[in-house]
Every structure is written in C-alpha cells, then in structure tokens.
Structure 1
C-alpha cells in the first residue's frame, strides 16, 4: 500500500514529536528507536523510511522546537510574535521562565532539557542547538532599547543564557519554593536588563 506525501510527512512529524518528548524525559542516550516508534504507534522498521540514524532524528527533534507554538500547548501563556520588539521579548521571558513551561517536561525547550546530551553529540546536533539558541538570543536582542551590532548580540546571548540557565537549575531541584525562587530571580533580572 502506497501512502501520500502528506501522510508520510504527518508520520514523520509524529515520530519527531514523540522522540522530542522522550528525549526531554530521559535524555538522548536512554531512549531507543524501538521506544520512539512504539510511542508513535509504529514499528521499528518504519523508522528507516524516515531517518537513516537516531542522530538524524535527534537533529530534527532539536530543529522542530524552532517552530514550537507555546499557545497550542499552553493557552494561558501570552506570547504574540507579531507585537515584536521589546513587548515580544518581555513576553518570551515570561513564557520561558513560567511555571507552565517548567511543569510541562514533554514540552520543554531542548536548550533546558538536553544540554548535556548536546555537549556529547555530533557537530550536526550542536549546529541545530546553536541555531535554536541564536534565534532566541536574536529575539531578545531585538527587544533591547537601541540594539546595536555586536553589543546587541552579546546582550541577547546573555539574556538567553540567563533564561535557559534559570530553567535548567529550576528543573534540577524538587523543592517547589526554591524552583520558583530561581525562576523569579532569573525573570526579574532578565526583565530589568531588557528595560
């Protein structure tokens, strides 16, 4: 039986989403192809119709987050890219450091869920991760008052590191009050820096 290109793309998207969620929960090394395919409701053999290697899937799972729409997963989060500039950067900081994001392990950004895995990964995975980071830093840099060249990039990267680091640390601990304190400190400082 032959499948349409649309069906094949939907299946691939489902595999990537299942992998991304499993990688967030367990890390790249601890997730098997069999586990990904079972979660997607498919057999292992079907994997090779879409990907040559597990690493190819890892790259795509990281890249997929560039198109992640928090509103579809977290309707209570206010994030409107069309408002642009400072307003959107502030919304991004609030959404990224939100309790909702922290609680949704499956929906975590790979920058907080997978930094150690990416550090041990291939250059292709690292490049996808870097592009994700640079995209976030660019949005934050565009929100700075009078952003200029390298200084704006440097400050955007620092803001992204503050948001990501705040979430990495908050995710690390079980104490709810301490987790909130970390996120609130990171958010307040990021918002202060962005103006």
Structure 2
C-alpha cells in the first residue's frame, strides 16, 4: 500500500492536477498579486521543482487553469448559437454562464489581472474575448437576416459591446467576496441582451 501511494504521488498527471487544484483554491481566497509558487506547492506537499515540470511561471499556471473553464463557456455559447428558440436559448446560455462565474469567478478575475501584467496572457485573454465576439456577431447577423433581430442593430459593434459588458460585469460581480444574487445578475443581463437585440423583455 505504501508503494502504491508513493507512485500516485509522483505520477505526473496526478502532480499536475494537485498543483492546479491548490492554485485555484489559493485564488479563491486571495488576489492574483498574492499568488506565489511556494504557497501553492506547500498546499500540495510536493517540492518546488515539481512545479516547473508542468508550468513556466504563475502566469502560465493561470492560463492552464482557465483552459477548461474557457471550454465550458464556449460549449455554453455553442448551444445558444445552435438553438432555434432565440430568447429562451439566450436566457439558458446566460444562466449557464453565470453559474460558471459563481463557481470560478475569483479564478477568472485572476486571469484578467494576470493579463494586465503579462503580454502573453493578455493575447490569450483578448483572443478568447474576440472568439466570443465573432461567434455572437455571426449569430446576430443570422438572426437579423431571418427577421428575428431589429434591422437597425449594428452587428459587429453590438456584439463587441455586449460581450465585453457581460465579461466585465460577471468578473466584477463574482470575482470578489461580496456577491449579488445570481438570479438578479441573470435578469439584468437578460434585459440588456433582449432589449438590445429584440426590443422586448
């Protein structure tokens, strides 16, 4: 049994998982600026050199943490884009997105903070936002051509404004200890999106 536990402890995939979990736990309690490798590794019981087997620095660690969450958000967006009941599909996407931020808001805010001080992280951050803007613009254009969205909506800039507004609002709301009730956030975003695109609540 002792040998089995020792092997599991030093398995690279298991070590990586432990470091990622420890880092997200740390970021749920502290600001990104306070993140340090020694504290993260202390939470795992692994030695500091094990960190550099998997990550270059704390910014690289943050990028890796955000990868899975970004995929989850893209999956939510894809379900909205593929939907046929435009307002209901949009509301469902907002509910699911808010739930992601409720669970991972502090980490996603750390990602934004990391982007402000690291060009590589900033490129990834802005690239992710642009992917959402592009997808939203394509959907808005298609809905507009189908007569479901107002003709006077300027597609590209409206998509940009809505995506940036939503990301900043969710990051500010759920990236701190004090939080607004998720149901209120969902209603606020729903009103903004639907009134902007469809002209009704």
TM-score interval, smaller chain: 0.5 to 0.7
Structure 1 partner of 2:47:
43
Larger radius of gyration: 2
Structure 1: give runs of 5+ residues left out of the alignment: 72-78
2:109 is the counterpart of 1:108: no
Are the equivalent residues in 1 in contact too, given 2:41–2:48 (CA < 8 A)? yes
Structure 2: give runs of 5+ residues left out of the alignment: 145-153
2:184 is the counterpart of 1:188: no
Relative to total residues, which structure has the larger helix share, 1 or 2?
A: 2
SS in 2 for 1:52: coil
Structure 1 residues 41-80: aligned runs within 5 Å: 41-68=45-72, 79=76
Aligned residues: 177
Gap change, CA 1:135 and 1:42, over 3 Å in 2: farther
4+ aligned runs moved over 6 Å, structure 1: none
Structure 1 residues 1-195: aligned runs within 5 Å: 7-68=11-72, 79=76, 81-82=78-79, 84-85=81-82, 87=86, 89-97=90-98, 100-104=99-103, 107-108=104-105, 111-119=108-116, 121-146=117-142, 152-171=155-174, 174=178, 176=180, 181=184, 183-195=186-198
Task: State the distance in 2 between where 1:26 and 1:164 align.
Answer: 20
Task: State the distance in 1 between where 2:43 and 2:127 align.
Answer: 28
Gap change, CA 1:81 and 1:13, over 3 Å in 2: farther
Task: State the distance in 1 between where 2:197 and 2:130 align.
Answer: 17
Are the equivalent residues in 2 in contact too, given 1:63–1:128 (CA < 8 A)? no
Question: What TM-score do you get using the length of structure 2 for normalisation?
Answer: 0.65
Task: State the distance in 1 between where 2:14 and 2:74 align.
Answer: 20
Gap change, CA 1:83 and 1:156, over 3 Å in 2: closer
Distance apart, 1:85 and its partner CA:
3.7
Are the equivalent residues in 2 in contact too, given 1:166–1:183 (CA < 8 A)? no
